[in-house]
Amino acid sequence: MTTAAPDLAAETRDALDADVAALRRGATLWTRLSLDQRATLLESIHASTSAVMAEWADVAATSKGLPPGHPLRGEEWLTGPYMTLVSTEWLARTLRTLAGGGNPLDGVRMDETAAGRLRAHVFPGDLSDRLIVSGFTGEVWFDRDVTMARARAAAGLGQRTPDRSGGIGLVLGAGNITSIPVADVLYELFASNRVSLLKVNPTQDTLVPVFERALAPLIEMGLLRIVTGGGDVGAYLTRHDEIDHVHITGSAQTFDAIVWGVGEDGAARKASGRPLLTTPITAELGGVSPIIVVPGDWSEADLAFQAEHVATMRLQNSGHNCVAGQILILSEDWPQREAFMDHVRRAVAATPSREVWYPRAAKRLDALRDAHPEASWSDDGRRAVIPFDGGAADNLEVVEQFAPVLGVTALPGLGQDFLDTAIAYADERLTGTLGANILIDPVAQTRLGDGFERALERLRYGTIAVNAWTAVGFLTPALPWGAYPGGTLDDAPSGIGVVHNALLLDRIDRAVVRGPFRPFPRSLTALRPASRGAFSLLPKPPWFTTARTGASVSAGLTRYRAGGGLLRLIPTMLNAFRA
């Protein structure tokens, strides 16, 4: 029963109550499973996900208006079954390590940042990572007072006390990326020992049969129930007396509605600090992500490649991503600024045509069309590049558009001066703290030296990607994903807490991803002595929206993760060279 029940049909309330009751029994069962048994359970989920991976990718792509043969269908392989498979692999390794008396940080290189903060180099984890995501690395930065001994002592989170139940968690699933609900359920279970009631976003209702088969090992043991419905079902469950925790991936507006209520009553509660929700809540709420381009002396090939990189950050999943780059920040003093913008406009226009499918996104585009007549439109008016002067607060700076529109602004300065100005702009003017991207060539980064690393420290975002897109961090289970620490119920522009974090680390400050500035074969220059560049085997990453073989390579990588040996990976890697 609930303390405040919205108007739901009696049979719907009864069914939801029965699901919660079953989960209460499952919560008790979970406390009786050993760490090895839990690792075996993860391996079972890996197998059941492998069995439905092709259907998963097909249903997801079809639901987003991508017909068979569309070149962007690979997105649904990578952000659906691939992400789920690697998540179960990483978590299973963590559980086996703990079961054997080890520590998740065993074998992980630890050092300090330029500002003296403890850092763990957690990615790549094995040879597969080094091949599939060649040239990319991932770091976890800890809170300032965390020592190596403290980090190791806390690593494992809930799995350090597996007999303590975290109760029942309500997971309000995301509507845009199909692996998010699954990853959130896994994190509830393994970080906090909480079984989950997953309410699927209506945009993903067609995937429920796939989720039920992929997650059958959890459902059969009473550790998970999956339900559908609208806001009335969500409201009923958030106020349910038997729910011990709520996690949502969604918008700040939905978060406020859950925590404070809506309309004048909600505003009054927020003003007085009396939340409607009394259950603890964590959330991932998106934000306005910057793409900071540090000026340098770029070749024509550099300009073209990084322009495609920017287009990918904005247009993957038709821009319906909390991780999408929304504001491109350039130096007004960079001699190559206009040349780069020419490449960006061409790359945005050259990305394969697709529908703007997320609810209300088309209306946002209409509003921007009226507000910014200077915009450059492509794909029959479904995507835009919008320059703005960064003077008075612009809607592009303060509202996550969740649509294929890229804002572009220019700030003064070169070198360290520009970087410092851009970081201050991103921290102070842009809504949210989820993810920030920086593009910088190796020569410019070498010149800045520790000044660049210290600048990263000042950038207040949960994930920072250097010569990479923050989505690489999202797709790397070993890295935490969430807002920069400090979100509260009344001020959580990008949310509270983290997910993913497959090493189950505590007291995390941020994740940092680093990638290659140049693709293969131009990445060979990174092998020169004293070069700060990263070598990569990838001519073009398969997640680039302009990768010609992205769909087939993404499917091949997922099939490899499902159980193919390294020899079976060779044809897919060769195919990647045709991207």
How would you write the pLDDT of the chain (579 residues) with one tens digit per residue?
444 455 799 999 999 999 999 999 999 999 999 999 999 999 999 999 999 999 999 999 999 999 999 999 999 999 999 999 999 999 999 999 999 999 999 999 999 999 999 999 999 999 999 999 999 999 999 999 999 999 999 999 999 999 999 999 999 999 999 999 999 999 999 999 999 999 999 999 999 999 999 999 999 999 999 999 999 999 999 999 999 999 999 999 999 999 999 999 999 999 999 999 999 999 999 999 999 999 999 999 999 999 999 999 999 999 999 999 999 999 999 999 999 999 999 999 999 999 999 999 999 999 999 999 999 999 999 999 999 987 666 789 999 999 999 999 999 999 999 999 999 999 999 999 999 999 999 999 999 999 999 999 999 999 999 999 999 999 999 999 999 999 999 999 899 999 999 999 999 999 999 999 999 999 998 888 777 789 999 999 999 999 999 999 999 999 999 997 888 898 999 999 888
Angle (CA) 375-320-398 rounded to 5° is 60
Distance CA 459, CA 438 (A): 11
Q: Which two tokens stand for residue 186?
A: 């896994």
| Alpha-carbon dihedral 29, 30, 34, 39, rounded to 10 degrees | 130
Distance CA 349, CA 344 (A): 9
Distance CA 175, CA 202 (A): 7
| Contact criterion met (CB below 8 Å) for 376 and 369 | no
In the chain, the amino acid numbered 179 is S
| Contact criterion met (CB below 8 Å) for 433 and 323 | no
Compute φ and ψ for 108, nearest 5 degrees.
-90, 130
Angle (CA) 471-310-81 rounded to 5° is 30
- Check residue 135 and report its DSSP letter: T
Distance CA 335, CA 352 (A): 30
| Contact criterion met (CB below 8 Å) for 23 and 193 | no
Q: Which two tokens stand for residue 207?
A: 């995937």
| Contact criterion met (CB below 8 Å) for 267 and 44 | no
Question: 308: which residues sit within 8 A by CB, 6+ positions away?
Answer: 347, 540, 544, 545, 546
Compute φ and ψ for 213, nearest 5 degrees.
-80, -40
Diameter of the chain by CA atoms? 71
Element (H, E) at 383: strand 383-387
| Contact criterion met (CB below 8 Å) for 91 and 190 | yes
Whole-number Cα distances in Å, 244 to 160, 232, 318: 20, 19, 35
Pairing relation of β-strands 435-439 and 376-378? unpaired
Angle (CA) 384-385-391 rounded to 5° is 125
Q: Which two tokens stand for residue 520?
A: 């293969």
**3 state DSSP class of 407:** strand
Distance CA 439, CA 407 (A): 16
**How far out from the chain centre does Cα 39 lie?**
24
**How far out from the chain centre does Cα 17 lie?**
32
Domains of the chain: 11-104+155-250 (3.40.605.10), 287-431 (3.40.309.10), 520-579 (no CATH)
Q: Within 13 Å of residue 406, how many CA atoms lie on the same side as its CB?
A: 30
- Check residue 431 and report its DSSP letter: S
Q: Where are the beta strands (DSSP E) in 433-566?
A: 435-439, 463-466, 480-482, 495-496, 498-500, 508-514
Residue with tokens 């949310």: 495
Q: Within 13 Å of residue 420, how many CA atoms lie on the same side as its CB?
A: 8
| Contact criterion met (CB below 8 Å) for 31 and 162 | yes
